[in-house]
Structure 1
């Protein structure tokens, strides 16, 4: 069976030399990122071998680090363009195995929209991945309108990936656990905070009316829906039209039409069953979160899904092929 994974990460250490000195000197990669750097930087070696060994047909690659969000509106566009050029160069000899989401300079929203269009038209990129907040601002801020307008025009999705919480949130919610100083990363990031923050991000887009203003816009989130399927019915009651937000449709109607979730990093069946019962089979896409998750774990999970073959194929590749316009050779 064809298998497409769409939240799979890269990071190219040679790009750090293109950062201004005042930023590159302050870069302190996490222990996980440092440990994974050889895998993140690789395209055609271990990555491709791991795909072959587990039966993954294609990866949609995205840049793992958030350096571009540290740059001001003057420096960010050129850095993002250089990153995208390098990514396109590295995958050009493997058109049936790799494609990509663009890395966008969100500190310069109009330039980000232009870079999205450039990469889609020039390189065949399939949309963009945006990581969390930009200078503390959520995507419902009016300044980010050009990105949504362009994504809708190009008919490509925006993938919202968790990012590091702002310092005020880190200090208030995730520091001084048990009296220990400093943030407790397991709560702040992959253990909880990342996922709730991304869910809040999507709910803000709903309440701000962004989905209604751009009815052709498609948003993707990972990690089996970032807790939203569990909150499905309760959140739908809270976000009814007229309850204080600008949304003209219910949460359920909106998300089933415009929101897609991936399985990235979630490899047990109970969360999938909740997702199937809420957002539905047509909105779920397979992902591994490579290299932070193991390809074989994802494949084992996929093989355990108790669904008719035609439905399992939607998760494995059909929904991704349709949403991203992937050509099957």
Structure 2
């Protein structure tokens, strides 16, 4: 298992920042594996065209590190861009995830002081997916797993998927729930007519939040955290709107249902990142509602700008110690960096 950055490695990473600046760890930073197009579950997911953006997304070396250095980011925790393993044909998803995790591991080994990884976790067979998560964590040194939503079939609260969460608890690593395009039935019902004219409406503009926020809420309601009381989940984009609604959610669910403590369960098991959401009022809401120890810095590179994300965080009106927690302290603790 590769060692986390320490000693000379950490000193090397720290050269790009001054002693007065906290270490900066960004942990929802994406890449694209070259083999994905060959295994994509078409027609549900179209192959990615060769574009300058895709070439940046595919880079695991010079270009990525150059942009990190320009912003002062010391370490990226890298994960496959959506839909990842959830967009690969079921018959191929396990073998694809294994090969992909091996290739990402090799790239991390080339830059161990700058990169870490979240494993691609296949969900077509949850027991096999759990085994791959264990291999990636135990043998490759990954810091957790990434699941890119599920756009067809049952939600993640279905017990067929629980072996993955059970294994994550046993390994003491988080599962990062990342959005993907909404369920096809939802696309037709909620977004018909606008998916073509305003494609970000179904994605980062609204659809991603609805899709992943619903996944997270269903996990809380399912009782999975009673079964696995040490399970940890990460949500990007400042919690996919849940922290801003949590007071009303908590009150409403307590009226006439068995869920009397939504806020307590959510705040105990979920972490949120700033990925692609550089809003001080929104972040302050998260801090007020779930606590600063649950908020972690992320950029969502290359979909969002490293420079913009770091600049925003540095200019936020908060104490240096609080910035240090968000920039790296909370991530060090959660991911054992």
1:314 to partner: Cα distance: 0.4
Does 2:146 correspond to 1:129?
yes
CA–CA separation in structure 2 for the residues paired with 1:52 and 1:11:
21
Structure 1 contact 174–184 (Cα < 8 Å) conserved:
no
The counterpart of 1:313, out of the listed 309, 324, 336, is 324
Gaps of 5+ in 1: none
Does 2:43 correspond to 1:12?
no
SS in 2 for 1:261: strand
Does 2:276 correspond to 1:262?
no
Mapping for residues 124-273 of structure 1, pairs under 5 Å: 124-133=141-150, 135-177=152-194, 182=196, 184-240=198-254, 243-245=256-258, 247=259, 250-273=261-284
Which one is further off, 193-202 or 66-75? Answer: 66-75
Does 2:63 correspond to 1:63?
no
1:287 to partner: Cα distance: 0.1
CA–CA separation in structure 2 for the residues paired with 1:27 and 1:200:
22
Mapping for residues 291-310 of structure 1, pairs under 5 Å: 291-310=302-321
Structure 2 contact 151–180 (Cα < 8 Å) conserved:
no
1:221 to partner: Cα distance: 0.2
Structure 1 residues 35 and 174, CA gap change in structure 2 (3 angstroms): farther
Does 2:336 correspond to 1:325?
yes
1:193 to partner: Cα distance: 1.1
Structure 1 residues 152 and 299, CA gap change in structure 2 (3 angstroms): same
Which one is further off, 250-259 or 150-159? Answer: 250-259
CA–CA separation in structure 2 for the residues paired with 1:53 and 1:293:
14
Gaps of 5+ in 2: 1-21
CA–CA separation in structure 2 for the residues paired with 1:308 and 1:124:
33
1:135 to partner: Cα distance: 3.0
Structure 2 contact 84–120 (Cα < 8 Å) conserved:
no
Q: What's the counterpart of residue 285 of structure 1? A: 296
Q: What's the counterpart of residue 135 of structure 2? A: 118
For 1:197-217, what per-residue CA distance to the aligned partner results, in whole angstroms no more than 9, with x for missing partners? 211111111111112211100
SS in 2 for 1:60: strand
CA–CA separation in structure 1 for the residues paired with 2:87 and 2:276:
26
CA–CA separation in structure 1 for the residues paired with 2:84 and 2:314:
36
SS in 2 for 1:230: helix
Structure 1 contact 127–156 (Cα < 8 Å) conserved:
yes
For 1:14-66, what per-residue CA distance to the aligned partner results, in whole angstroms no more than 9, with x for missing partners? 4434x28xx468753468x9452111111111110111111101000000042
Q: What's the counterpart of residue 109 of structure 1? A: 126
Q: What's the counterpart of residue 28 of structure 1? A: 46
CA–CA separation in structure 1 for the residues paired with 2:151 and 2:132:
17
Structure 1 residues 281 and 197, CA gap change in structure 2 (3 angstroms): same
Structure 2 contact 175–234 (Cα < 8 Å) conserved:
yes
Q: What's the counterpart of residue 117 of structure 2? A: 100
1:67 to partner: Cα distance: 4.9
CA–CA separation in structure 2 for the residues paired with 1:206 and 1:27:
29
Q: Normalising to structure 1: TM-score of the pair?
A: 0.90
